[in-house]
Structure 1
Amino acid sequence: MLVAAVVLLVASGSGTAAPAGSTAAAAGATPPHVRLVPADGATAVAPAAPIRVQATGGTLAGITLTADDGTSIPGTLSRDRRTWTASAAPAYGTIYRFGGRAINDGGSVPVTGGFTAVDPTQLVRASTSIGDGAVVGVAAPIDIRFDRRIAEAERATIQRGLKVRTTVPVEGSWAWLPDNDRGSRVHWRPATYWPSGTGVTVEVPLYGRDLGLAGFGAADLTSTFSIGRSQIVRADIGSHRMIVIRDGKEVTNVPATYGLESDPRRVTRGGTHVVMGKSSTVLMSNPAFNYENVPMHWAVRISNNGEFIHANPASGYAHGRRNVTHGCVNLSTSNARAYFDSALYGDPVEVTGSTIPLSSRDGDIYDWTIPWNQWKTMSALPSSVARRLPR
């Protein structure tokens, strides 16, 4: 009867007693006290919540945490051997049981008890445009997209876990952009363009986190990438030319034509665009102007409102002379191909002289149109300098 009482007391986390026949019991010594986190019998435990075993008046030995299917969760023991902490998260919807002992000079007591991880009805997934090993331009923001809307109350919780580490110190800040029909999104961008050659590691610890009405995090997200050479397009609409500056030197200065300024529907938006992708052929449509699926070549996308830098021999008569397009930057085929070959995701395209500024209505990446001081106010937490990666 005494042994059964001991097991019940340890599992509850409220105290322990030495088993019958132990030295502690025989000598009248105080047995170790064991505390479980989460407590024995807990249900709907978030996998990201702390999981540990703590001993008072003794040390721990042989601590295990095992699922019903036999898989185990590893853990680490503190230097004083009084605290065991799980070093991996449990699986959703799984029952786990503790094992091991707490020991002092008088004897030991078993560590027993268990909990059930939550089995969520909906999961939140995160993605980014920058994959492992990518080389990107100096204006590339770190974009984290969630496939469900994250409420204001949970944004700070998420952001506290986000990490951006760089090989050189870079001042930057997270900013939550307005939700769209796909969910919520948070971007990190530096105060000024990235230094060329910077190595970047991003960590989004999402798995097991309770995100309120959105659900629970489906999986962690990480990405390690680098910043390539500095290449900046300077596109002055009034000059009818497009200039490319690479690593501080002008390498291209070619005739171009931009959007027709007399029609607001055709104006090339002003401000810093960011290269979002490129394709050797894009089928372009604009029903308002009676064309559909017209193939255009060597197309570099610079916004989600239909703006590209691309070849268009049909507008050649206007290149370097006047602006006639429906918002794109038109070049000759040879000039467009040369720029296409040099362009990276994240390169800045600085459009000046326009009557209509680039804005959130024009797509996902308008980060550089927001002044730095305003950008920092869009963070759920104060901004900070990214940490230097260990060499």
Structure 2
Amino acid sequence: MGGRWSRWVPRAALAIGIVAVLGMTACSSGDDAASPRGTQTSSDAPAGQAAPKPPAKITLEPVSGAADVSPVAPVKVSVADGTIEELTLTNPTGKQVIGELSADRTSWSVGEPLGYGKTYTWAGTARGTDGRTAPISGSFTTVTPARQVDASLNVGDGRTYGIAMPIAVKFDRAVTDKAAVQKVMTVTTSVPTEGAWAWLDDRTAHWRPKTYWAPGTKVNMVAKLYGTPFGDGTYGAEDRTVHFTIGRSQIVKADTRTHRLVVIRDGVQVADFPASYGLESDPGRVTHSGTHVVMSKHESYSMTNPKYNYENVVVPWAVRISNNGEFIHGYAPSIWAQGKQNVSHGCVNLAPANAKIYFDSAMTGDPVEVVGSTEQLGPEDGDYHDWALTWDQWLGKSAV
């Protein structure tokens, strides 16, 4: 009796239990419905799937359609989210430009100067991380100069010069934008050397050290003139480079008052010659005081000066020391005056035998320090009056 009574459940209680279970089910279903089916709340990719990879992004430098591009400006193609599969840059005749592809194949850069006034065209493909290919295309045009300016140098490759030698760059047209040109001309030396560029006129720039070069210095000069704007629509025609060496130290000390010419080599006096300098009573014949520079050597040289009524007077062992007609040379007719008085027309006269000794020792670029006269070396004397300027005066002629 008791056992049967314990198994009996009233109908009302059973109904309440069923409702409770159904209620719990309805609550659970409500939580799932809070986020609609198919909606991605934290990722573009469905749950459990990776995001799609991006396509290749191609950048051209300069941009396609660019005009008046410098032929030496950076020219490259870069690819983000991908790599370059193939690429060419061609000139108007179809010739391919030399270039270099980076190791990771994400960039390609031009490896040679381009031409003036030409249109260059890109062609190629890149593959993105999405696996798809994308075309590389476009074009640009380089600048067409109104004129091209060329330059010449006073020093030569592999040559050796004296300790006062300046580097002279002579342009065949006037330079308007001197600062732009000066910035692309660099001088490097094997021995630390303080020096600077100075513009001596609109066509001429010289580089000289603050003090004489150290013997044995190796000098490199690079002028990246091609593609450089010179102003007024003109551009450089060609780069110029030179590598030379400074030789031993030899300094000539020439005193017009003592009528002597002394040669000092590597700090040691090696010669002391009697000399005759320019006649002091005539300003047109005075040997100019100041530091001259040996410019050239001639075993014989014909002298002409209509103002003083002589023509084709041939002298031996002539060493030019300025562009105003001053030489150190042999002259037998003035031996009587050498060491005693000054009678020349501006040159330094030595006995022919002494002139030969000096001639054999002289090197282009050697300094000749003249003192004691009433006239000073200056710009009107032409090349090379570089050392007639103080260092501050020299720096004042820089364009930058």
Question: When the two structures are superposed, what TM-score results if normalisation uses the length of structure 2?
Answer: 0.83
2:363 corresponds to which letter in structure 1?
A: L
Task: Give the secondary-structure state (helix, strand or coil) at the position aligned to 2:232.
Answer: helix
1:48 aligns with 2:72: yes
Task: Give the secondary-structure state (helix, strand or coil) at the position aligned to 1:251.
Answer: strand
- Report the CA distance shift for 1:369/1:89 in structure 2 as closer, same or farther (over 3 A): same
1:32 aligns with 2:32: no
Match of 1:114 in 2: 139
2:206 corresponds to which letter in structure 1?
A: H
Give, in angstroms, the shift of residue 80 of structure 1.
5.7
Alignment partners' CA distance in 2, 1:220 and 1:374: 29
1:282 aligns with 2:307: no
336-345 vs 241-250, greater mean Cα deviation: 336-345
364-373 vs 345-354, greater mean Cα deviation: 364-373
In angstroms, what is the RMSD of aligned CA positions?
1.8
Deviating above 6 A after TM superposition, structure 1's stretches of 4 or more consecutive aligned residues are: none
Give, in angstroms, the shift of residue 51 of structure 1.
1.6
Match of 2:214 in 1: 195
- How many matched pairs? 349
Of 331, 337, 345, 2:364 maps to 345
Q: Give 5+ residue unaligned stretches, structure 1.
A: 1-26, 382-391
Alignment partners' CA distance in 2, 1:224 and 1:260: 41
1:171 aligns with 2:194: yes
Match of 1:71 in 2: 95
Equivalent pair of 1:63/1:99 in contact (CA under 8 Å): yes
Task: Give the secondary-structure state (helix, strand or coil) at the position aligned to 1:314.
Answer: helix
1:227 aligns with 2:246: yes
Give, in angstroms, the shift of residue 28 of structure 1.
6.9
Match of 1:105 in 2: 129
- Report the CA distance shift for 1:99/1:201 in structure 2 as closer, same or farther (over 3 A): same
Of 314, 317, 322, 1:295 maps to 314
Give, in angstroms, the shift of residue 161 of structure 1.
1.6
Alignment partners' CA distance in 2, 1:371 and 1:77: 51
2:168 corresponds to which letter in structure 1?
A: D
Of 262, 265, 268, 2:287 maps to 268
36-45 vs 353-362, greater mean Cα deviation: 36-45
1:312 aligns with 2:312: no
Task: Give the secondary-structure state (helix, strand or coil) at the position aligned to 1:334.
Answer: helix
Alignment partners' CA distance in 1, 2:141 and 2:233: 21
161-170 vs 237-246, greater mean Cα deviation: 161-170
Larger radius of gyration: 2
1:133 aligns with 2:154: no
Residues 33-82 of structure 1 deviation map (CA, whole Å, 9 limit, x = unaligned): 32222232333432122222233443334332222334322223456644
Of 374, 384, 387, 1:355 maps to 374
Give, in angstroms, the shift of residue 217 of structure 1.
0.9
Equivalent pair of 1:73/1:89 in contact (CA under 8 Å): no
Task: Give the secondary-structure state (helix, strand or coil) at the position aligned to 2:349.
Answer: strand
1:256 corresponds to which letter in structure 2?
A: A
Residues 110-153 of structure 1 deviation map (CA, whole Å, 9 limit, x = unaligned): 211122333434211111110101100000011111111111xx
Alignment partners' CA distance in 2, 1:73 and 1:209: 20
Of 135, 148, 167, 1:142 maps to 167
Alignment partners' CA distance in 1, 2:123 and 2:237: 28
Equivalent pair of 1:47/1:209 in contact (CA under 8 Å): no
Alignment partners' CA distance in 1, 2:358 and 2:300: 14
- Report the CA distance shift for 1:214/1:314 in structure 2 as closer, same or farther (over 3 A): farther
1:110 corresponds to which letter in structure 2?
A: P
2:72 corresponds to which letter in structure 1?
A: A
Match of 2:256 in 1: 237
1:217 corresponds to which letter in structure 2?
A: G
Alignment partners' CA distance in 2, 1:155 and 1:34: 38
Residues 177-203 of structure 1 deviation map (CA, whole Å, 9 limit, x = unaligned): 123xxxx11111111100101111110
Question: When the two structures are superposed, what TM-score results if normalisation uses the length of structure 1?
Answer: 0.85
Equivalent pair of 1:307/1:329 in contact (CA under 8 Å): yes
- Relative contact order: is structure 1 or structure 2 higher (C-alpha 8 Å, sep ≥ 6)? 1
Alignment partners' CA distance in 2, 1:56 and 1:64: 18
1:156 aligns with 2:201: no
Give, in angstroms, the shift of residue 306 of structure 1.
0.5
Give, in angstroms, the shift of residue 292 of structure 1.
1.7
Match of 2:111 in 1: 87
